[in-house]
Amino acid sequence: MKNIILFADTGIDDAIALVYALKSPEVNLIGVVSGYGNIEREKAFRNVEYLLELAGRTDIPVIAGATRPLSGEDPDFFPEIHGIEGLGPIDPPIPEERYANRTNFSKLFSLIKDHRNEVTIVNVGRCTSLAIAHYLSPEVMADVKETYVMGGAFNEPGNATEVAEANFFGDPIAAHYICQNAANLTIVPLNATRNALLTPREVNLIDARSDSPLEKLIKPILDFYYEVYQQLEPGISGTPQHDLAALMAALDISGLYEYSKREVTVEHEGTYAYGESIADFRPGTSNCFGPKCARIALSINQDIFVTNVLHVLTNES
Ligand code: RIB
Ligand code: CA
């Protein structure tokens, strides 16, 4: 079992990753950092509180993350993809205002200090909050065992622009910093997460077996997400679970991914390729070694993905 701190921008696929984390016997969720991204920081924070409340796990600390990217620009939000409140059709009965101006980063550092070298960070939103944590306390962050990041697209179309994936595009300065500086880093890009699909049939199966308010949320939010994806990519067989796929990478599930190791940079100064993730995959190149090398999940085994997700979310474990 791993001690995991989830950094999220709690929209739909983040919520599914959170539900999985709460249900998996392999995960000891010790904290959640919730910042801007898919939606505003306060909504993202409120959504985590709501999901934890439904799960009866309000003992898990929620830490307020960043409100805007390191460039200082106003962020774009994505209600058309994640719903106005970030959870599709769900309107959580907690006002977002309750969480305004709540900052408690010291809690993050005490969690890491309490579990020295035994914390896995899984970042499934913009990299801003994680980069800020590194800037604020490199000494404490050096005690993190490993970091997993959902982001990027390598030699692959983006989803925010032609070349950039949304998490890296949302804050390429922070993404570049993390790719270059986080120790024991694994990146789970669109190359893999695009294929981490859950079909309506699988969602119905999960729903038929669900027996708690938290589990009952899965179908409405994924049905909403499915309709959105039918507009975005007509004919797609299911919804891509980007964030769940990144969380599952941290669980070392045998055969789930194929990895390559490369040094990764993120374009954060240019115009046309802003947010693009870059690594050297030219013929003749091979896995790199050393502190700047990141492990990149370039492909996913869909059967293993679906089998594992159904196992955990249909209460078989
Ligand atoms: O590109 C997919 C990522 O962007 C996911 O983390 C999704 O939640 C959005 O933040
Ligand atoms: Ca996310």
The tens digit of pLDDT for each residue in 231-266 reads 999 999 999 999 999 999 999 999 999 999 999 999
* Candidate from 19, 33, 36, 124 with most ligand 1 atoms within 8 A of CB, to mutate: 124
Does residue 200 or residue 317 have the better pLDDT? Answer: 200
Strands 146-150 and 119-123: parallel
| CB 82 near ligand 1, within 6 Å | no
283: CA distance to ligand 1 center in Å?
Answer: 30
Q: Using CA atoms, how far apart are residues 110 and 299, in angstroms rounded to an integer?
A: 35
Does residue 271 or residue 151 have the better pLDDT? Answer: 151
What residue spans of 147-238 are helical by DSSP H? 166-170, 172-181, 190-193, 200-209, 213-216, 218-232
pLDDT per residue over 192-211, tens digit each?
999 999 999 999 999 999 98
**What's the mean pLDDT in 132-161?**
98
The residue whose CA has the least distance to atom 1 of ligand 1 is 166
Exposure class string for 277-302: b at 16+ Cβ within 10 A, else e: bbbeeeeeeeeeeeeebbbbbbebbe
Task: Note the pLDDT of residue 235.
Answer: 94
> At 118, is the pLDDT very low, low, confident or very high (cuts 50, 70, 90)?
very high
Q: Using CA atoms, how far apart are residues 31 and 23, in angstroms rounded to an integer?
A: 15
Asked whether the beta carbons of 86 and 39 are under 8 A apart, the reply is yes
User: Could you tell me the pTM of the whole model?
Assistant: 0.97
Task: Please give the positions annotated as active site.
Answer: 9, 242
φ, ψ at 299 (rounded to 5°): -150, 155
> At 169, is the pLDDT very low, low, confident or very high (cuts 50, 70, 90)?
very high
Both tokens of 41, joined, read 């920081």
Task: Note the pLDDT of residue 99.
Answer: 76
Q: Which atom of ligand 1 is nearest to the CA of 166?
A: 1
Q: Among residues of the chain, what percentage have pLDDT more than 70?
A: 99
pLDDT per residue over 289-304, tens digit each?
999 999 999 999 999 9
Task: Note the pLDDT of residue 317.
Answer: 55
φ, ψ at 29 (rounded to 5°): -75, 110
* Average pLDDT for the chain: 96
Q: Which of 92, 168, 97 is nearest to 131 (CA)?
A: 168
